[in-house]
Chains A and B, each alone.
Chain A
Amino acid sequence: MDWVNVALQGVLLGGLFALFATGLALVFGVMRLVNLAHGDLGILAAFVALFLLDSFHLGVLLASVLAIGVMVAIGYVLQRGLLNFTIGTDDTRPILVTFGLSIIIQNALIMAFSADSQGLDVGSIENASMRISDQLAVGWYPLIVFVIAVAAIAALQLFLNRTSLGRAFRATSDDREAAELMGIDNSHIYGLAMAIALGLVALAGILLAIRTTFDPSQGSFRLIFAFEAVIMGGMGSIWGTLAGGIILGVSQTLGAQAFGAGWGIFVGHAVFLTVLAFKPSGFFAKTVTA
């Protein structure tokens, strides 16, 4: 029963991984931009929330909502003001620019907040749990995080499939020049895509910061986990990213259970590499060509 319990924790953890990864996948899908600062931007959101909390004595919820709003605005401005100039040139330029961005964010956070671990405290809910049977228990907070993650991913999917703007996102992703001929302003679409991506990663970063402690260096780990979730799930599929996140989460928790606490992340990477070796396109890839 221990194992079932551990696997269940892994599934819930996977929801958070997937939420971290969704924005990365969206941005890559819409504009073929690999954002190496994605994880750091999520951690930045947690620090923004912490700053708002400490400076203005807001509640955690209000501070979080504001921080997400700030990140959405940063996303649009960052895309229009900087990243749009790197797109459609050679592939290495956006990677170099976002890598630089990642270093700047990490070091700016160390200067402003020090390298110490921080936490966002929401009180007793963090540790409360619900007993399903004698041996099976689920923490309320991980469950809430999972539900929020699935809801956010579902909302994004609905937006892409059902709205006129979402259709424009997909058209731009298929063929940016043809999209322009339809009257779609790609620069604006890219700005909106980055805004949504940073809103999602901000939500993920804040949920993470409540779950555990965080510090400025964590963005890089988050980025790797996000990449693993996206690749295992398959490019172009948002539900695939959720599946990829869950596979990674379960691998990590089962690995830690089997070989000891330090081995969880290792087993996660090993499972990822196995998938990459035998099914490099991922499980739910949805790439279409004309």
Chain B
Amino acid sequence: MSILELKEVNVFYGDFQALFSVSFSVEEGQTFAFIGANGGGKSTLLRTVAGLLKPASGELCFQGESIVGVPAHKRVGMGIALVPEGRRVFPSLSVHENLLIGAYGGRKGEWNVESVLELFPLLSPLMKRQASSLSGGEQQALAIGRALMANPQLILLDEVSLGLAPVVIKRIYEAMGHLVGKGTTILVVEQDVQHVLTVADYVACFLEGRISLEGKPGDLSSEQITAAYFGM
């Protein structure tokens, strides 16, 4: 059974339509990647799945049940966690408090402060620091750790490598591999195509609010991807 299924989803910002009848389904345990240029609708899609945006029409099912009317704060409890673009850690809270607040939605599971620190040992010496004082890479690790504290079945990663040093990006992709090993389903949005194709089971390319290409990375040629990416 697919864990997440979208059928003909249309999303607007006011009068501006950001997604045009988008349909796809994600299998449990899959790493599903969205690529595409800025403004293509990738972030909009993740925000819609997380519940921050309401589709004007279309169906959105999580584990076979419609979640269109479920507010964002309840979707966390169902097992959907979003690591938002720009990290969005709580600046005035300590690193430890940021992690604790991640568990506010209250799903039980194997993720807790200890296991998150095992995954991101770099956070251990920073626990008492204010999150605003962390570097970009540290904040990103914190943002992912905070999302894991909710023990999600489906984690949505929005541009998690943006603006980070290559060594940090490597660490984050390693962590993603670790999540896959645990059976977590991952929906990842990236602009860095090369990187994401190495971890994804399935990839969809967004162009101007529509899926312009989709398939397994091995089945797609780089010419096809370039054409879908730029709309040529």
Which A residues are closer than 8 A to B by beta carbons? 164, 167-168, 170-171, 173-175, 177-186, 286, 288-290
User: Using an 8 Å CB-CB cutoff, how does the interface string of B58-93 with A read, 1 for contact, 0 for none?
Assistant: 000000000000011110110001101001111111
**B137 touches A (CB below 8 Å):** no
Can you sample 21 A-B contacts with CB below 8 Å?
A168-B104, A170-B90, A170-B93, A174-B91, A178-B89, A178-B90, A179-B90, A179-B101, A181-B72, A181-B73, A181-B81, A181-B82, A181-B88, A181-B147, A182-B101, A182-B150, A183-B105, A183-B150, A186-B73, A290-B131, A290-B132
B101 with A289: CB separation less than 8 A: no
Query: Contact residues of B with A, CB < 8 Å?
Result: 50-52, 71-74, 76-77, 81-82, 84, 87-93, 97, 100-102, 104-106, 130-132, 139, 146-147, 150
What is the distance, in angstroms, from A110's C-beta to the closest C-beta of chain B? 42
- Provide the residues of chain B in CB contact with A290, threshold 8 Å: 87-89, 91, 131-132, 139
Return chain A residues, CB-CB under 8 Å to B50: 181
State the CA gap A178–B102 with chains docked (Å): 10
Distance of A227 Cα from B162 Cα, bound (Å): 42
Whether the Cβ atoms of B81 and A171 lie closer than 8 Å is: no
Chain A residues within 8 Å of B131, by CB? 290
> Is the contact region of chain B dominated by helix, strand, or loop, or is it mixed?
mixed
A183 and B106: CB pair below 8 A? yes
Quote the shortest CB–CB distance from B100 to chain A (angstroms): 7
**Dominant secondary structure of chain A at its interface with chain B:** helix
Give every chain A residue within 8 A of B84 (Cβ-Cβ): 177-178, 181
With a CB–CB cut-off of 8 A, which chain A residues contact B139?
290
Knowing that A178-B88, A184-B73, A290-B132 touch, tell me 5 more A-B residue pairs with CB under 8 angstroms: A174-B91, A177-B84, A182-B104, A183-B76, A288-B91
A289 touches B52 (CB 8 A): no
Least CB distance from A182 to B in Å reads 5
- Is the CB–CB distance between B146 and A182 below 8 Å? yes
Q: Report the separation of the CA atoms of residues A289 and B86 in the bound assembly, to the nearest whole angstrom.
A: 13
Give the distance to chain B from A161, nearest Cβ to Cβ, in Å: 9
Q: Could you tell me if A164 and B100 are in contact, using CB atoms closer than 8 angstroms?
A: yes
**Bound CA–CA A174/B84 (angstroms):** 15
Residue among B50, B100, B104, B146 with most chain A CB within 10 A: B104
Residues of B within 8 A of A177 (CB): 52, 84, 88
Q: Nearest chain-B residue to A236 (Cβ)?
A: B92
Give complex CA distance A177, B43 in Å.
15
Question: Please, how many angstroms separate the alpha-carbon atoms of A262 and B81 in the complex?
Answer: 60
**C-alpha gap A185/B105 in the complex (Å):** 10
Which A residues lie within 8 Å of B74 (CB)? 183
B90 touches A180 (CB 8 A): no
Contact B104 A180 (CB under 8 A): no
Residues A288 and B132 in contact, CB atoms below 8 Å apart: yes
Decide if B93 touches A183 in the complex (CB within 8 Å). Answer: no
CB distance from A240 to the nearest CB of B (A): 15
B156: min CB distance to chain A, Å = 10
The smallest C-beta distance from B1 to any residue of chain A, in angstroms, reads 25
Residues of A within 8 A of B106 (CB): 183
Contact between A288 and B77 (Cβ–Cβ < 8 Å)? no
CB nearest to A183 among chain B residues: B105
**Inside 8 A of A175's CB, which chain B residues have their CB?**
88, 90-91
